[in-house]
Chains A and B, each alone.
Chain A
């Protein structure tokens, strides 16, 4: 792992989103690890805690991302890791997770609605991770 790069863990069941997010993150600044299921993501976090987690809401079940989020925030060793939740569920179909951020209901640190572009993704990540100067 590169010394100065942030370690980002992506937990997402759509392989195309893995491809897209990998292309959006500058390799000199971010090192991306990806998992496609909740249990695998949690296991990877415990093995090597990342600097930030990009977490999809709908995985094997429509709310698995939430359960994972609760587990992470309830864990003493992982609760400090910022979580950016990503989902196609958003205000447009009646949900407003962004308005609930940080609450007991949505204990994530940021919410990014799909589709998003590189600027939106990097904006969300950089709000949570300070810019590192070489």
Chain B
């Protein structure tokens, strides 16, 4: 049985002053149990006080000493209960199930002993006629509040049995002599009347069962509400954590952006000081002016990319659902745009899109152009003269996802590749290569200019459309980037994406010189149906 003690008073401060809400459930249940022990001290004190007053008033000393002994026994046991709860409190929270079972037994034992002592007191204070019988109902209510629903019935039935034992014992004469409540004034002998005993027993039993039902119902509702509140509280805390993290990331981004924007300006001013202080002259002065001009151009380019990133991130992601882009046209356009730059750098840039093939994707055309343009730009920057850059498209069907169609844009270069440690980071703790302003050491060492925003822009767009990015790279051998975008069949409406999954995947290339994915032929964009789990299957984020 998965026993537990109800945590009726969660969220209040604990007796030791610590915040209960920070403690696990089993510890919280000790608080009402401690409260019960304190309440028992009050009742013991009240019992002794009543006995003393009775003697001071000069009442006939017919009250047997068993009453005082019963109260003394209760006091001794209460000290034991206090020690038990201290021991339970010290027990390791790690062993929570055993601790919960121990506390359940503890609660049962306390209530059972209370009922036995109450019955002894009842026996010597009027028996079936004693108004102290109301405390049976009180303990039943306590049981319903402290114990799980099934367990709450046990003290209720036990109380009825004890009261029935006293009533029937007195009626039959088995419990004699009888001690009235007011020893100095004998009362009517109701306990020997069967009808009265049956009515009293019935009333107490009904009272106990009714209390069990009502208290149990209210307690269940309270526990349900408490559970809802705890879940809502947990969700709120999680949201707060996310907001805090976002604010922190935003702050870091702002600091980095400020630095990156300030850097070219600072360089310009520093180099201007060279000319002003006549530290350079003649050809060197002209070269310094050229450097200043290039810094200005880089600063302007950086601001442009920052604005693009801001536009992509701030725009409504739903724009991708109501639009479609002809991926082939975008790839051809971007290849054409960078062709002269490729030639100037001694590179071969090839866009392999079959004439007549049509690949439509649910992505904003301008955003797709930014993505493809950034990938080609990166490939051009990081590929030495004589290298090759190939861009091609293929269609894929994910048979594990209701035959979802995907359009995959491949950008492949024979450039310097990512640092292995950067890819290891991406595979381990997060795809840092897509973080804004993240640049590889090899890129810095080679003095290749760049804002470090290109891949962040690509990531933002692909995440918004629910696609994914696969990066395969090897230092000194090149990089292959595959953008998987949701395809749209001719004439069909844009696919609705409920929650874009994380779309990052980075793999270092297989050690031992694995070949590059073969560059496609002119028919390389023909549709391929990929099996689930296959190497070439477009995997969804989270797989």
- Partner-B contacts on A (CB < 8 A): 13-17, 19-20, 23-24, 36-40, 58-62, 87-89, 93-95, 114-119
Residues of chain A within 8 A (CB-CB) of B444 are 13, 36-37, 59-60
Given the known interface contacts A115-B267, A118-B273, the answer about A23 and B284 at a Cβ–Cβ threshold of 8 Å is yes
Judge whether A115 and B270 touch: CB under 8 Å: yes
Residues of chain A within 8 A (CB-CB) of B269 are 115
Judge whether A88 and B291 touch: CB under 8 Å: no
Pairs of residues from A and B, 8 with the lowest C-beta to C-beta distance, nearest first: A114-B266, A115-B269, A117-B273, A115-B266, A88-B262, A37-B441, A13-B444, A115-B270
Q: How far is the CA of A77 from the CA of B196 in the complex (A)?
A: 100
Stretch at the interface among B1-9, B87-95, B106-114, B250-258: B250-258
Give the residue name and chain of the B residue nearest to A21 (CB): B270
Residues of chain B within 8 A (CB-CB) of A60 are 438-441, 444
Judge whether A115 and B445 touch: CB under 8 Å: no
Judge whether B259 and A20 touch: CB under 8 Å: no
Q: Among B256, B280, B295, point to the contact of A16 (Cβ < 8 A).
A: B295
Q: How far is the CA of A131 from the CA of B266 in the complex (A)?
A: 28
Given the known interface contacts A23-B284, A36-B447, A60-B440, the answer about A16 and B267 at a Cβ–Cβ threshold of 8 Å is yes
Asked if B314 is at the interface (CB within 8 A of a chain A CB), the reply is: no
Residues of chain B within 8 A (CB-CB) of A87 are 259
Q: How far is the CA of A59 from the CA of B263 in the complex (A)?
A: 12
Q: Among B270, B439, B440, point to the contact of A116 (Cβ < 8 A).
A: B270
Judge whether A38 and B441 touch: CB under 8 Å: yes
Q: How far is the CA of A58 from the CA of B260 in the complex (A)?
A: 9
Least Cβ–Cβ distance between A122 and chain B, in angstroms: 11
Asked if B120 is at the interface (CB within 8 A of a chain A CB), the reply is: no
Asked if B277 is at the interface (CB within 8 A of a chain A CB), the reply is: yes
Given the known interface contacts A23-B280, A118-B277, the answer about A40 and B445 at a Cβ–Cβ threshold of 8 Å is yes
Q: How many A-B residue pairs have CB under 8 A?
A: 88
Give the residue name and chain of the B residue nearest to A12 (CB): B444
Least Cβ–Cβ distance between B527 and chain A, in angstroms: 41
Give the residue name and chain of the A residue nearest to B439 (CB): A60
Residues of chain B within 8 A (CB-CB) of A16 are 267, 271, 291, 294-295
Least Cβ–Cβ distance between B249 and chain A, in angstroms: 12
- In residues 214-255 of chain B, which contact A (Cβ within 8 Å)? 252, 255
Residues of chain B within 8 A (CB-CB) of A23 are 274, 279-280, 284, 288
Q: How far is the CA of A19 from the CA of B267 in the complex (A)?
A: 10
- In residues 273-320 of chain B, which contact A (Cβ within 8 Å)? 273-274, 276-277, 279-280, 284, 288, 291, 294-295
Instruction: List 7 other contacts, CB 8 Å, given A16-B267, A20-B271, A59-B441.
Output: A14-B267, A37-B445, A60-B438, A87-B259, A88-B262, A115-B266, A119-B277
Q: What are 18 A-B pairs at a CB distance below 8 A?
A: A14-B267, A16-B291, A17-B267, A17-B270, A19-B291, A20-B271, A37-B441, A58-B256, A58-B263, A59-B441, A62-B256, A87-B259, A88-B259, A89-B259, A95-B255, A114-B262, A115-B267, A115-B273
Least Cβ–Cβ distance between B475 and chain A, in angstroms: 13
Judge whether A93 and B258 touch: CB under 8 Å: yes
Judge whether A88 and B266 touch: CB under 8 Å: yes
Residues of chain B within 8 A (CB-CB) of A89 are 255, 258-259
Give the residue name and chain of the A residue nearest to B452 (CB): A60
Most A CB atoms within 10 A — which of B262, B265, B277, B444?
A: B444
Least Cβ–Cβ distance between B221 and chain A, in angstroms: 52
Judge whether B441 and A93 touch: CB under 8 Å: no
Residues of chain B within 8 A (CB-CB) of A14 are 263, 267
Q: How far is the CA of A59 from the CA of B445 in the complex (A)?
A: 10
Q: How far is the CA of A23 from the CA of B405 in the complex (A)?
A: 59
Asked if B338 is at the interface (CB within 8 A of a chain A CB), the reply is: no
Give the residue name and chain of the B residue nearest to A121 (CB): B270
Judge whether B259 and A24 touch: CB under 8 Å: no
Q: Among B255, B271, B276, B439, point to the contact of A93 (Cβ < 8 A).
A: B255
Q: How far is the CA of A92 from the CA of B530 in the complex (A)?
A: 55
Asked if B135 is at the interface (CB within 8 A of a chain A CB), the reply is: no
Given the known interface contacts A19-B288, A20-B271, the answer about A61 and B438 at a Cβ–Cβ threshold of 8 Å is yes
Judge whether A118 and B279 touch: CB under 8 Å: yes
Asked if B437 is at the interface (CB within 8 A of a chain A CB), the reply is: yes
Least Cβ–Cβ distance between B317 and chain A, in angstroms: 28
Chain B 383-421 interface mask (CB, 8 Å, partner A; 1/0)? 000000000000000000000000000000000000000
